[in-house]
């Protein structure tokens, strides 16, 4: 048993090595450096795949990442100290859903909750904009995935300013400074969360306008994908440039040392998965997660429990023998 354990550990160590060696540099280039001003369209290519040439080329590394993530989640859960919040933002058809499905395919569902944030309900609009997210924050030991998030408040609401009208804000607070205030509020809130042991990772899946069109057409043409198509998505596509501007300012103001943004190339889904799983793995790796160590008293308790169970087995065996003898007598 011990030998098997050590073989498995060695394999995992190799995977870790492979991941860190090949991916670290790529991850660095995808993270928005806090304080640095980026130009989304110029600096980030949606078709970028690093030194990976094809789906087959990336597959093994992605699979290793998924396995390692499952190991890390097990420790995260057992340790019950940190919580992880993964935020996914993107334009339509960038692959948020399929990224969640693949990247989380190895983890224990008990420790993961996915929340998709849609157009706010009347009840949600009756509260401050962070209210609906608070109840979905992860417990310690858990991973929460936000499929869209409070960032919609500086994206869709900014592109369609008329949506502010539904928010019942006091007129004095519905002014030109609202966006810079929201950026500040979000940064402060994320600081508060990280100060409480909630690790935050933010991913923007950066799909190109051409690839989005290709995926939309696929949704129209392939019967199995028809259900994914929404005519409203086509209307939203007309605001592409406004979204790019809103995203760019958002990255420039809300990528922080404690909650950085990753701009993930999303024209090749296989690369998106590889990059996302690697970034999560890398972040969790830095936490040095470990199973809780038992105290000498707990160890004593474990040994006592073991002895008790062995005693119970002895009793049962003795009981069985007795019964056998009894039935032997009868026959
Ligand atoms: P998919 O289309 O892949 O199922 P989705 O995330 O696009 O996933 P939809 O139900 O199509 O889900 O869209 C959700 C909509 O809700 C998006 O258009 C988004 O911009 C909008 N939304 C989310 N949060 C807010 C918000 N705070 N205010 C206004 N609109 C919001
Ligand atoms: Mg949609």
**What single DSSP character describes residue 294?**
P
If one counts every other C-beta atom within 10 angstroms of the C-beta of residue 208, the result is: 17
Q: How close is the Cα of 295 to the center of ligand 1, in Å? A: 48
Which-ligand-closest: CA of 118?
1
Question: What's the token pair of residue 64?
Answer: 């290793």
Number of domains in the chain: 1
Give the model's pLDDT for residue 11: 72
Ligand 1 centre and the CA of 279: distance in Å? 25
Atom of ligand 1 nearest to the CA of 92: 7
52 is a domain residue: yes
Q: Whose CA is nearest to atom 10 of ligand 1?
A: 118
Q: How far is the CA of 261 from the centre of ligand 1 (A)?
A: 20
How far is the centre of ligand 2, averaged over its atoms, from the C-alpha of 230 (Å)?
7
Give the whole-angstrom CA distance, residue 280 versus residue 259: 12
322: in domain: no
For residue 120, is it within any domain?
yes
Neighbours of 59 (CB within 10 A): 14
Residue 79's CB: how many other CB atoms inside 10 A? 15
Binding-site residues, ligand 1, Cβ < 6 A: 92, 97, 116-120, 147-148, 152-153, 156-157, 163, 230
Atom of ligand 1 nearest to the CA of 156: 20
Q: Which atom of ligand 1 is nearest to the CA of 129?
A: 27
Q: What is the pLDDT along the chain (331 residues), one digit of tens a residue?
A: 556 776 677 577 556 646 676 788 899 999 999 999 999 999 999 999 998 999 998 998 899 899 999 999 999 999 999 999 999 999 999 999 999 999 999 999 999 999 999 999 999 999 999 999 999 999 999 999 999 999 999 999 999 999 999 999 999 998 999 999 999 999 999 999 999 999 999 999 999 999 999 999 999 999 999 999 999 999 999 999 999 999 999 999 999 999 999 999 999 999 999 999 999 999 999 999 999 999 999 999 999 999 999 998 666 555 555 555 554 444 3
* Backbone angles phi and psi of 320, in degrees to 5: -60, -45
Q: Which ligand has the nearest atom to the CA of 156?
A: 1
SS (H, E, C) 78-112: HHCCCEEEEEEEECCCCCHHHHHHHHCCCCCHHHE
Per-residue pLDDT, 329: 44
Q: Confirm whether 321 is domain-assigned.
A: no
- pLDDT value, residue 113: 98
pLDDT at 330: 41
Residue nearest to atom 20 of ligand 1 (CA): 156
Nearest listed ligand to the Cα of residue 152 = 1
What atom of ligand 1 comes closest to residue 96's alpha carbon?
Answer: 3
CATH code of 10's domain: 3.40.50.300
Probe target for ligand 1 pocket from 98, 119, 230, with the most ligand atoms within 8 Å of CB: 119
Q: Could you tell me if residue 125 is inside a domain?
A: yes
Structure-derived torsion over alpha carbons of residues 207, 210, 215, 218, reported in degrees to the nearest 10: -170
Neighbouring C-alpha atoms within 13 Å toward the C-beta of 154: 26
Dist. CA 82–CA 143, nearest whole Å = 9
In a domain, 307, yes or no: no
pLDDT of the residue at 18: 62
Ligand nearest, relative to CA of residue 159: 1
pTM over 0.75: yes
Query: Ligand 1 test: best mutation among 118, 147, 162, most atoms within 8 Å of CB?
Result: 118
Domain span including residue 212: 2-285
CA–centroid distance, residue 234 to ligand 2 (Å): 10
Q: Is residue 317 part of a domain?
A: no
Question: For residue 319, is it within any domain?
Answer: no
- CA 92 to ligand 2 centroid distance, Å: 5
Name the burial class of residue 123, with classes exposed (0-12), middle (13-18) and buried (19+) by CB atoms within 10 angstroms of its CB. exposed
């Amino acid at each position: 048993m011990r030998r098997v354990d050590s073989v498995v550990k060695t394999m995992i160590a190799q995977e870790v090595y492979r991941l860190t060696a090949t991916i670290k540099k790529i991850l660095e280039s995808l993270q928005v450096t806090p304080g640095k001003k980026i130009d989304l369209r110029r600096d980030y290519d949606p078709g970028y795949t690093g030194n990976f040439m094809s789906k087959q080329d990336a597959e093994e590394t992605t699979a290793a990442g998924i396995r390692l993530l499952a190991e890390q989640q097990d420790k995260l859960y057992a340790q019950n100290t940190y919580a992880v919040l993964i935020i996914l933002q993107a334009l339509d058809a960038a692959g948020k859903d399929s990224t969640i499905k693949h990247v989380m395919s190895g983890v224990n569902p008990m420790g993961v909750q996915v929340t998709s944030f849609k157009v706010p309900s009347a009840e949600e609009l009756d509260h401050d904009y962070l209210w609906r997210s608070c109840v979905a924050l992860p417990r310690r030991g858990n991973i929460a995935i936000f499929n869209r998030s409070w960032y919609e408040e500086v994206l869709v609401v900014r592109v369609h300013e008329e949506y502010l009208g539904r928010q019942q804000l006091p007129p004095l607070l519905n002014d030109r400074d609202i966006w810079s205030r929201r950026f500040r509020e979000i940064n402060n809130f994320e600081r508060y969360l990280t100060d409480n042991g909630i690790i935050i990772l933010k991913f923007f899946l950066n799909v190109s306008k051409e690839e989005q069109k290709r995926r939309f057409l696929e949704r129209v043409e392939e019967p199995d994908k028809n259900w994914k198509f929404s005519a409203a998505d086509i209307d939203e596509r007309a605001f592409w440039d406004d979204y790019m501007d809103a995203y760019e300012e958002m990255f420039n103001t809300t990528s922080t040392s404690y909650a950085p943004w990753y701009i993930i190339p999303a024209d090749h889904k296989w690369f998106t998965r590889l990059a996302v799983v690697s970034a999560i793995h890398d972040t969790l790796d830095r936490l040095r997660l470990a199973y809780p160590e038992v105290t000498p008293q707990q160890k004593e308790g474990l040994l006592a429990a073991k002895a008790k169970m062995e005693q119970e087995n002895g009793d049962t065996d003795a009981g069985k023998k007795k019964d056998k003898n009894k039935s032997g007598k009868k026959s």
